[in-house]
Amino acid sequence: MGMVVDFRTLQNDVLSFAKESGVLKGIADPAVKHEFLLWMYMLGLIKRRTPIDVEVFVEDHKTEFLDWFLFVHEHRDGKTIGQIYAEKNRLDDVREEAAEIKEGVGLFLVEIEGVDTDGLKVLDLTSGEKLFVRDKTLPSQAKLGEGLLTILYPYAGEYYISGGKATRVEIGEMAKAKRKIGFIEEFENMVNEFIDHSEKKGISEKTLRKRYEALSLFTEFLSEEPITNINEIKLSHIRKFMKWSKRALPYYGITTREEHLAALKKFFRYLHEKGYSTADVIGRHIL
């Protein structure tokens, strides 16, 4: 498929279109700014229950905000401004790529495996895929084995850094991140196995949902803790999680919290019985 323009040119063209057509005025809409904050939160770039001044945050992330407004935010009929621009100008190749941008954009932690004059060969630690990040400034600063934490936009088989901003991650920190990612993947597999086991035992749909909800929350909690092995989880972590969930989800009532705790008890007992962990973490303790 022959691309009409490269991504940086497309950004400028779509921005010009947005200015000329008047749709760029929508970027000042408070509802749009709040939608951007929600998106950044979903990416993990805003901590739960952190006080945010919307205007200050948007100003500090104005390049990322503009990229999002043009290529992620649905402006009309479920389409982004980038998609609308491509359709109006009958750029079929670009229209397809613009649709894929919205689906593939995200926060990536990548390890630098190769340096070219026009970009970096990287490994996405989450998916295990090898990617090419096109960028003219990073190659002169990059070191093999280091990492980058950044929002990447996919386009024509390559990736582009949103706003040109990337946080560098030192080699030692990358080793920790790899262990952490591996542990979370292992933990999620244990959760899925436990849910399958519960389903085969004839557990009700309602209880299954509560168990999955509780364990999904616990996985989110673990991702923020310095834990990289199932046997590092202690009773103190369960207590900390119960306090964390109360702060994070204040609208959950006592009944739901009791159901979550019951789910955790069943889960950790299952792990111990299967030999995945050396101890029944909760046992008969009363939290």
Rg (the chain; Cα; Å)? 23
pLDDT at 285: 64
C-alpha separations of 121 from 57, 129, 159, 239, 264 in Å: 31, 11, 10, 43, 41
**Angle value at C-alpha 13, between 10 and 14, nearest 5 degrees:** 85
Residue 120 has φ and ψ, to the nearest 5°, of -125, 140
pLDDT at 2: 46
End-to-end CA distance of the chain: 60
Q: Which residues of the chain have pLDDT under 50?
A: 1-3
Look at residue 30 and give its three-state secondary structure. helix
Close Cβ partners of 260 (under 8 Å, ≥ 6 residues apart): 210, 213, 214, 217, 242, 245, 252
DSSP-assigned letters across all residues of 181-221: HHHHHHHHHHHHHHHHHHHHTT--HHHHHHHHHHHHHHHHH
List of domains in the chain: 7-104 (no CATH), 106-169 (2.40.50.140), 172-274 (1.10.150)
- Global pTM value: 0.77
Look at residue 281 and give its three-state secondary structure. coil
Q: How many helices (H) and strands (E) does the chain have?
A: 10, 6
Helix (H) or strand (E) holding 102: helix 92-104
Residue 202 CA to its chain's centroid (Å): 33
Handedness of CA 72, 70, 125, 45 (dihedral sign): negative
pLDDT at 241: 95
How does pLDDT run across 220-245, given as a tens digit for each residue?
A: 999 989 999 999 999 999 999 999 98
pLDDT at 264: 96
Positions of E strands within 96-214: 106-116, 119-124, 130-134, 147-155, 158-161, 167-169
pLDDT at 204: 95
**Angle value at C-alpha 39, between 224 and 241, nearest 5 degrees:** 25
Handedness of CA 220, 43, 167, 3 (dihedral sign): positive
pLDDT at 286: 56
How does pLDDT run across 116-147, given as a tens digit for each residue?
A: 989 999 999 989 999 999 998 888 888 999 99
**Angle value at C-alpha 32, between 26 and 35, nearest 5 degrees:** 160
Look at residue 6 and give its three-state secondary structure. coil
